[in-house]
Chains A and B, each alone.
Chain A
């Protein structure tokens, strides 16, 4: 009974809270007011039931923490068992590979295009994952590097006629350069300050692109960017989508390979140490300055490369594609998938990009749902859908009794 009263209070509160925004809609030009009372009922009923769910989940989470504290054995997560069981993992991997390679054969170029989009976000997510997931530096201006890559191709091509393949490494280098450029002033900052400065940096890049008409052609952007060629051969309109798809596949595989190797390298370990405790990390003799800068540079490199693919795919760039929302989407797909985990980021990107594409009806509510999902994820499952598997080493005594 107490539970019901509690939920009832919550629903009354939310009905009060959402009343002006949800129910009343004014038209200031025609001076009319529209009352949408039915919405109030939806809010009331919805919050009544959600509050039950919320409290149930909170108690479950708390009991979970208590159990862990009491030293009870926690079940190994499903995802981890899946990856460790070779009989399951390898066939699944094979299936995924076959599906990705043959995808354009079975589906229309429209579908292929969407998949390319998702792959681009996979790559962006993996790049940002280095900075946020591994090194623990919250970067909210990641889209700036993406913009740098895209404009790099657009401008170099416009002024000097340099092709896609020549620009790809240049853009990667430019991305890294800008990463270091951002990294230097923020070396001393941590956590929240860092987040704000990177956000400001991202907005600054966008504003400069928007206002510096002589350099970037302002808000109207640059059009007629050529699609990539294959050893000088230019594909037709339809085929070029398939070509870009395969290009993205290979770039993604390269990214996964490199990020995976980086993760277990000396520098990767340094990043993780940095994330866990900066001071302890310094005490262990890790050069924080260098470690942070490499994280920014290596993270930004991928964004620069994806930027080039983006410019080549849409054949048009303008500053409106590089807003803070884009950074937020990339960040939230990492959070959703699981920070620091490669599989998690891939899964997160696919969920984030494909779900709204196929559920056109909820398109309007996409960002609403994402925002709510970010909050709910942080409250109930901060480690994401697939948590990063931490390597643990056990100390085994060599003497056996």
Chain B
């Protein structure tokens, strides 16, 4: 067995998995609170990447250095993605809170189609090259054949974001309100939690994470188009289900498992079926452990 090859696959799986985990967190948070698959989540990720590209291009013309471009573009992407997430919730999901389960789901699919075409018409349907904003660090040079700087940045950013999110959910006031809303909306309302605000906050945080994922992937892959959100969203959702939807550590674990599966699958079996591995894994998990790896199985009340 070639250990170097194994390590390479492992690290590339970890990178991919980190991105999936970042997007999956948004799904899982929203699902935990209002039991809705936010189909438009992948689209917000795409919009984040596009906003980042636009801002980065303008700043490049102004002649700033790479690191400040990266930071400013990420800020813009996060702000805009969060704004889109907030607006999407107000338009497509809030009026449907009392409706049967199928209605918000279809509305979400509609939103996703709308946003895809909106970006396609307003911008372009071609692939756009994305500047590599993440600089190559000097201290990374000896290891460059195993892991590049962008990969390192992606993995580290994801770890930082996870820690930040855990602290937010566990120890802050809004985190407490979120957990309360997820457990029982009516009861949370009775003890004075502003449900509307909590749901909005959840969308804002979730979509901001998606924007981070969008920028990082775009830097890593080097090109974007209006359709990237669909597959990314689907895979991230797979990751969320894999780890047990509604559970935050589950989303991270699911993302990493999915990334590694894909990476080893393409490395050792066949590179043509990268996406097929993800879906096969999803179906297998749902058959044998529908609650996911870390999820608790809930008994249905009648």
Contact = CB atoms under 8 A, between A and B. Distances in A.
Interface residues of B, number: 70
Contact of B105 (A195, A325, A365): A195
Given A192-B101, A193-B241, A200-B283, A332 B110 contact: yes
B272 A335 contact: no
Contacts of A256: none
A28 interface: yes
A371 B37 contact: no
A25 B124 CA distance: 9
B105 A367 contact: no
A202 B102 CA distance: 19
B203 interface: no
B34 to A, nearest CB: 12
B194 to A, nearest CB: 20
A325 B116 CA distance: 11
Given A207-B273, A331-B109, A368 B118 contact: yes
Interface string A138-180: 1010000000000000000000000000000000000000000
B77 to A, nearest CB: 9
Contact of A203 (B105, B109, B115, B275): B275
B58 A13 contact: no
Nearest to B107: A378
Contacts of B130: 28
Interface in A13-37: 13-14, 16-18, 20-22, 24-26, 28-29, 31, 33
Interface residues of A, number: 60
Which one of A13, A16, A136, A203 has the greatest number of beta carbons of chain B within 10 Å? A203
Interface in B96-149: 96, 99-107, 109-119, 121-124, 128-131
A267 to B, nearest CB: 21
B76 A20 contact: yes
B238 interface: yes
A21 B47 contact: yes
A21 B224 CA distance: 14
Given A20-B76, A378-B106, A378-B107, A186 B47 contact: no
Contacts, number: 174
B275 A58 contact: no
Nearest to B113: A371
Which one of A26, A29, A331 has the greatest number of beta carbons of chain B within 10 Å? A26
Interface string A29-52: 101010000010000000000000
A59 to B, nearest CB: 12
Contacts of B109: 140, 328, 331-332, 374
A200 B113 contact: no
Nearest to B281: A200
B103 A382 contact: yes
B110 A372 contact: yes
Nearest to A379: B95
A335 B108 CA distance: 13
Contacts of B290: 188-189, 193
A365 B117 CA distance: 8
A22 B53 CA distance: 14
Contact of B54 (A18, A26, A370, A374): A26
Nearest to B57: A26
A195 B47 contact: no
Interface in B27-52: 31, 35-37, 47, 50-51
A189 B286 contact: yes
A391 to B, nearest CB: 20
Nearest to B87: A17
B302 A201 contact: no
A185 B283 contact: yes
Interface string A102-118: 00000000000000000
Interface in B207-254: 230, 234, 237-238, 241
B121 A197 contact: no
B123 A374 contact: no
B92 interface: yes
A375 interface: yes
Contact of B102 (A29, A191, A197, A374): A191
B20 interface: no
Contacts of B118: 21, 368
A332 B47 CA distance: 24
Interface in B54-102: 54-55, 57-58, 60-61, 76, 80, 83-84, 87, 91-92, 95-96, 99-102
Contacts of B95: 58, 61, 379
A27 to B, nearest CB: 8
Contacts of B87: 13-14, 17
A367 B114 CA distance: 7
A364 B121 contact: yes
B121 A368 contact: yes
Contacts of A136: 102
B33 to A, nearest CB: 14
B279 interface: yes
B53 to A, nearest CB: 7
B287 interface: yes
A26 B61 CA distance: 11
Contact of A197 (B57, B100, B131, B282): B282
B57 to A, nearest CB: 4
B57 A28 contact: yes
Contact of B110 (A17, A20, A24, A374): A374
Interface of B: 31, 35-37, 47, 50-51, 53-55, 57-58, 60-61, 76, 80, 83-84, 87, 91-92, 95-96, 99-107, 109-119, 121-124, 128-131, 230, 234, 237-238, 241, 272-273, 275-276, 278-280, 282-283, 286-287, 290, 300, 302
Interface of A: 13-14, 16-18, 20-22, 24-26, 28-29, 31, 33, 39, 58, 61, 136, 138, 140, 185-186, 188-189, 191-193, 195-197, 199-201, 203-204, 207-208, 211, 279, 324-325, 328, 331-332, 335, 364-365, 367-368, 370-375, 377-379, 382
Given A138-B102, A188-B287, A188-B290, 14 more contacts: A17-B84, A20-B55, A20-B76, A21-B47, A21-B119, A28-B128, A197-B286, A211-B273, A211-B276, A328-B113, A371-B110, A371-B111, A374-B113, A379-B107
Q: Which 7 A-B pairs have the closest CB atoms?
A: A374-B110, A371-B114, A371-B113, A200-B279, A378-B107, A368-B117, A26-B57
